[in-house]
Amino acid sequence: MIALRTLLVKLPGAILAVILFAGLLWKTGGEAADAGSRKKIVLIAGKKSHGPEGNRIHDYPWSVKLLKVMFEHSKVKENVSVEYYRNGWPSNETSLETADTIVVISDGRDGDQHSEAPYLESDERVRFVARQMKRGCGLVTFHFSTFAPDQYAEQVLSWTGGYFDWETDGKRQWYSAITTMDTNVVIASPEHPVARGVQAFKMREEFYYNIRFSPGDNRLRPLLIVPGLPGREPDGKVVAWAREREDGGRGFGTTCGHFYDNWQNENFRKLILNAIAWTAHVEIPKGGIEARYYERPEIEAELPRSQALR
């Protein structure tokens, strides 16, 4: 190191300037390359439903803010960039056109009740999402956003692998079902990257089950099963799943997420973080993506309101 300093001092000023400038370009280029190689995660929160703000049920805006903070304090923080939107689909879709995965945490339509999940709000919206899927973008649906009409069954089954089917012959007659339980949850496919580091756990949840899957879909992997659910065979007890599409894109869905307090469950957090990262083609660490739970004052300190996009 001393010899190098001596050499640099003895070099003519012009040559030294060129060397230092080249070094600056190399450093800057390296940082730009690192930033450019990050996978872009876009989190979309629907409007708060099921009661007032703070009741910790269907707390979509808080969930996306928590996810952003957790990712930014995890071991994969250098591999991802995370944006979040509140109150539904972004008014400017440009950012979604460069997303590596889109996460939708929102209500869904149930017959004539509530609104369609944002990614299914119109034929035009579905066509836009289809274009993103075609280029390899991932898609994650969470709890109520797993609801989908039969009109878009083909698309949703391709994109994520399954959906809550509330419709029979155009009427609100559920194929799927709902129940709230405090029960054991087991890992159905422990070899899958999304399951890395995740152990069987217990949780109180409003589980949706008897999800509509395509029979014989060999690209689908069940991830979480609730043995205590009265689901029909062979897949009625599945409450989280993943699908790797023919085009290389990846999808994930879970019917969990009713109670905000379940984010305090280490295994649930890890599963969701793993799943989002996996759909963005981020390499999942051997022990999974670990991040602690953050209370709301901590989240507010981390994320000024100006970071919320629309």
Q: How far is the CA of 32 from the CAs of 8, 19, 27, 28, 283, in angstroms?
A: 27, 20, 9, 6, 20
Please list the ranges in the chain whose pLDDT falls under 50.
1-9, 16-33, 306, 310
Q: What is the separation, in whole angstroms, between the first and last Cα of the chain?
A: 51
Which structural domains are found in the chain, ordered by start? 38-307 (3.40.50.880)
Q: What pLDDT, on a 0 to 100 scale, did the predictor assign at position 20?
A: 44
Evaluate whether 278 touches 193 at the Cβ level (below 8 Å).
yes
Residue whose entry in the numeric block shows the structure tokens 């409450």: 239
pTM of the model: 0.88
- For residues 276, 280, 284, 289, the Cα torsion angle rounded to the nearest 10 degrees is -30
Cα–Cα dist 211/269, whole Å: 22
- State which H helix or E strand residue 184 sits in: strand 177-187
Cα–Cα dist 39/152, whole Å: 28
Specify the pairing of strand 201-209 against strand 212-213: unpaired
Q: What pLDDT, on a 0 to 100 scale, did the predictor assign at position 54?
A: 77
Q: What pLDDT, on a 0 to 100 scale, did the predictor assign at position 26?
A: 39
Tokens of 62: 């808080």
Q: pLDDT by residue (tens digit) across 224-246?
A: 999 999 999 999 999 999 999 99
Evaluate whether 286 touches 66 at the Cβ level (below 8 Å).
no
Cα–Cα dist 105/119, whole Å: 10
105: region left, alpha or beta (phi > 0 left; psi from -120 to 50 alpha): beta
Q: How far is the CA of 43 from the CAs of 69, 95, 178, 219, 272, in angstroms?
A: 12, 11, 25, 25, 12
CB atoms within 10 A of CB 180: 11
Q: What pLDDT, on a 0 to 100 scale, did the predictor assign at position 304?
A: 75
Residue 141's DSSP bridge partners are: 104, 253
Closest CA to 270 of 65, 76, 23: 76
Long-range contacts, 266-270 (Cβ 8 Å, 24+): 266/201, 266/290, 267/198, 267/199, 267/200, 267/201, 268/201, 268/203, 269/70, 269/293, 270/197, 270/198
- State which H helix or E strand residue 32 sits in: helix 13-36
